[in-house]
Every structure is written in C-alpha cells, then in structure tokens.
Amino acid sequence: MKIQPVEYVWMDGKFVKWDEAKVHVMTHALHYGTGVFEGIRAYPSNGNLYVFRLKDHIERLINSAKIYMMDVNYTVEELTEVILELLRINKLKELCYIRPIVFKGLGEFGLNPFGSPTQIAICAFPVGAYLEKGGVSVCTSSWRRTPDVSMPSAAKACGSYLNSVLAKIEAVQNGYDEAIFIDINGYLSEGAGENIFIVKKGVIYTPPVSSSILEGITRDSVIKIISELGYSFFERPILRSELYVCDEAFFTGTAAEITPILKVDNRIVGNGKPGKITNEIKNFFFEIISCKKPKYQHWLTKVY
Ligand SMILES: Cc1ncc(COP(=O)(O)O)c(C=O)c1O
C-alpha cells in the first residue's frame, strides 16, 4: 500500500509539515521496537467523513502504552479532537487511514526505556483496499504466533510486528496473499495483520484471546453483527484441520475490513467463492460504515 503524503502531521503536540515529521536515527524505538500504534479508518458517507470506532482505538492505544509503561500525556477526548482536527486541516474527505504512534525517542543508549522521552505522532492519509476484497489465498505460516507469555498480544506494539513481518515475507515469497499463524499450542491464532473467523454447518467460530491474538476492534464489531444476525457463534480454540474443512473463512481487520479466504494451503475453502454468511456479515458491516444502520451510528465519529 502506497503512502500518499498530505500537508500536516501531528507530532508532540503540534501540527508540523509532512516533511518535518522526523526522528533521529538514535531513536530508541528504531533500535528496540519500543513503540505502540493504532490503525484506524475514516469512511466517506453522505458528503461527510466518519471515523470508525475512534474511542475504542484510542483506548487500545493507551492500554498498549500502559503495558510498556509509556506515558501518553493526552486523554481519550484530547486525542479524539487532535485526530478530527488533523483530518480537517488536511482537508481529507476520502477514505483514509489514521496511524497514531507512541514511541520512545532520543535519550539514553541501551535497553532501559525510562531514559528516553515518550513521543507521540499521528498521520492520516488517503488509502484504498489492503487485501484483495474479492478473496484471498493464504498459507499457514511456519512461524508460530509469539505467545502472550513472551510478548503481550493485547499490546499493538512495534516490536511484536516482526513476527508478522516474517510470516508475511514467507507468504508473499511463496505466492500467497497472506499468512495465518498457528499459536504455540497448535491452535489457529490470527492472520499476520487480521483476526480470523471460520464457518461450519452454519455455525461461526473464532479463536479466543488465549490463542495470542490481538483483540481486534473489527473482530468485536463482527461478533456484534453475528449476534444481530442470529447465528450460533463460539469463541474457542480451533484446529488447523478445521480450517481445511470449513465451509467459509474470512479475515477481519481495520485494513482488511472483511476479506473472504478462498484458499488455505492450496485447499479450496467451501466452493472457492465468498460464502453466504461471510457476504451477509460483510454487507451488514458496509451498511454500518455507510451510516445506514442507526443502531450503530455511535461507532462513527463525524469529522466535519
Ligand atoms: C495482528 C493483528 N491482528 C488483528 C488485527 C485486527 O485488529 P483491528 O480490527 O482492531 O484492526 C490487526 C490489525 O490491526 C493486527 O495487526
């Protein structure tokens, strides 16, 4: 996905020009991965722009920072205002991606993060689709998902993503669109940057938080949609073999939204086309982000 530069970035309390949003090469986070971040989407609708589940994303950012003992010296309300203002001063009206990052900056040398200042920056820029929306071909990765006992899955931390980068390299080099992790106990975990759901005989399943997943905000939205649609749903450990014989499978994520999985390790999922239940959930999700579901309007924050 290309980054489309905009005019302003918000950095450490100020709006600065895109080209001036820089850090030193001795920035702690660059060497040790000591940063936490978020991925948020804003959707155009009715001539306005709406940020999807903004409060939930900011709360997760603050919780990720808490795990790594970084002080975010802004409240949820303050960061909400900053993000809305950032979209406005960049005059963004199209589909956008918003990337806040809290990280350890230039300070002392060495692993101890407390000698380095905590910095914060937020970028917002126009985007298109992350994965091929019609459906993807995936592989299970030979890399296991980092277990929560080694690196907390609840934190969306920069360093944790090296595990995902390894899986992504393996997937693309072998001709797949995306990788799925198996956790340390042999159960399905999640995609390199998405949560996963499977459907078997009309029942929907997703791996639990104990399978070292990031608790996705799209995952949570989909769980609520499933309940609204009235399907049976279980959050339970899932075997790799269950993925091979399921009727439908799909990814969820801010970037991936709802992406059907059509092939796993060269085995066709269901009939090789996006499944009926997947499409039903996807359509419901798209109605929510298009402001067509008043019950879920509180998930959308109006920009203008
Ligand atoms: C590893 C991982 N799992 C799951 C997700 C999905 O989370 P969300 O729906 O909050 O974007 C993401 C994307 O942020 C991710 O990077």
CA of 109 to the centre of ligand 1 (A): 31
Residue 249, CA atoms < 13 Å, CB-side half-sphere: 29
87-128: pLDDT as tens digits:
999 999 999 999 999 999 999 999 999 999 999 999 999 997
**Measured between alpha carbons, how far is residue 213 from residues 180, 227, 238, 279 in Å?**
11, 21, 13, 24
pLDDT of residue 280: 98
Determine which one of 104, 156, 168, 282 is catalytic. 156
Across the chain, mean pLDDT equals: 97
- Would residue 156 show up in a list of annotated catalytic residues for this protein? yes
pLDDT of 182-201, one tens digit each? Answer: 999 999 999 999 999 999 99
Question: Given this model, what pLDDT does residue 128 score?
Answer: 75
CA distance 157 to 36: 4
**What number is the average pLDDT over the span 44-50?**
96
- 20-54: string of b/e by CB count within 10 Å (b at 16+)? ebeeeeebbbbebbbbbbbbbbbbbeeeebbbbbb
The residue whose CA has the least distance to atom 5 of ligand 1 is 194
161, pLDDT greater than 90: yes
Supply the DSSP symbol for 131. S
Residue 130 pLDDT > 90: no
Nearest atom (ligand 1) to Cα of 218: 9
Work out the pLDDT band at 284, boundaries 50, 70, 90.
Answer: very high
- Please identify which residue in the block is written with the tokens 């269901």: 270
* Ligand 1 centroid distance, CA of 256 (Å): 9
The b-or-e profile of 276-286 (16+ CB within 10 A means b, else e) is ebbeebbebbe
Residues having CB closer than 6 A to ligand 1 are 39, 164, 190, 193-195, 214, 216-219, 252-254
* Contact predicate 162/181, CB 8 Å: no
For the chain, domains (ranges, CATH) are 8-126 (3.30.470.10), 136-289 (3.20.10.10)
